[in-house]
Structure 1
């Protein structure tokens, strides 16, 4: 919990603060923060509603009481009169009268509403129309390079969050994979901070930080033109604070599909499903569809898998 919350609290506060400063609606902010970054679709405002908005001041007080004097969180944290007013009037999220979102009843129908971050009034929720959200489907760099306010917002949040995470190794964790695993397990992120940095490219990230006058964490400088994770002779390695790559070891009997993915390409698949060779004559069929639903594209891959099993000598199939 400590590793995840040290990074996660700064991520949440930066995402909320920058949404106010950059003039985004809660729907726009959550659309940017959510799926394009591999974060649950609750985004940040939906997450605050879920855990309770009134918890935030207590968490902030704890952070300020215990963190080092020069910690980035101290510079980033700003009390929000808007949020304080919400708490005082009972708008504390799902457990209260409502939060950044609420369900209202009109003419016998349940209507999802969102709060206006300028006026405090509620209005029917509308999907984000930001072009940067669509650009995010092409990758993180396409998202943060997009010129609209969503792209600028994405960069502000990611630059602060990923820089912070990189600056905390080895203070809060011995390895980068410990940090990534903590964020995946604790905040349900699809990718941890260092996996996100690899998607952006550490060297590219470093150059952009320098261009904008932001400090570059030592670990990002040290990895240079490389990535934080690499596949070396079919062995997965991670970059350490010692300046060297180290083999990632798993407990006996533990096999991570994410390791298989980093080590090589899938042997069949499309946008809906993928087939992976797990070794030991075991094939894995992974679904990518929403709620693992079966559509025409999934059945195409299933047909390929049925052919692959006898052709390649597989003896077992795992469905993931």
Structure 2
């Protein structure tokens, strides 16, 4: 008797859920239509290409395709890990990504905090436009600008009688990469943090001012704690991509003089894997990057939650 009642309750719940789903879909159908192009993009360009992971375990031939190429197991991973150049590229990738994380991640936070304190709206918008504009330029354009600016023959270095360009010096090239990316992307991060600050309740500031808090205390005890969830989420995502040091930037700027300090995993794979037709080798290196990135993402999210903050999930 009890089992029959339980089944009846379950069937009643299913009947209630079905109309509610249809009602919800009809209510938000235009939002789903707007979502459709983005969904198709991710399916076609992000999820379907995951089938290419199989190439990392095959001796892939273009003429045979994925289904006719012979399986070789972990052969390409052994070749990858036995290559001394791979470890040099991995070291460079970690170092460059670490420098960018340490210096470039806090930069937009500091700039957003300073812009948030500006009362003059016109000046604030002008500064935002100036720092945000480089984000819309490709590294091809910016690379040409930087090469011209820091040329020892025609650039600003000639004014100071400097005979070596930082783009040609292994001792300064990594710092130049970090600084140029900060210049290009600091505006994008600033906009994100300013949007988070716009959602802070103004009454919190008013109450703190009545208690005698100065501007520094308002920033430390209201602004930063309020935008901390945004900071944490962006930090988790940045940590998960630590093996992605920025292929387009480095590929545009590096040269044989700085290979020893600038050859990262992406450029190493492109040069040896794709230009030489070693597609299985390139897939193995790419899969290695993805697995390490996923593990770092999971670890960082776990660590953040252990510290009491809200993670991605």
TM-score by length of 2: 0.24
Larger radius of gyration: 2
TM-score by length of 1: 0.24
- Bigger fraction of residues in strand: 1
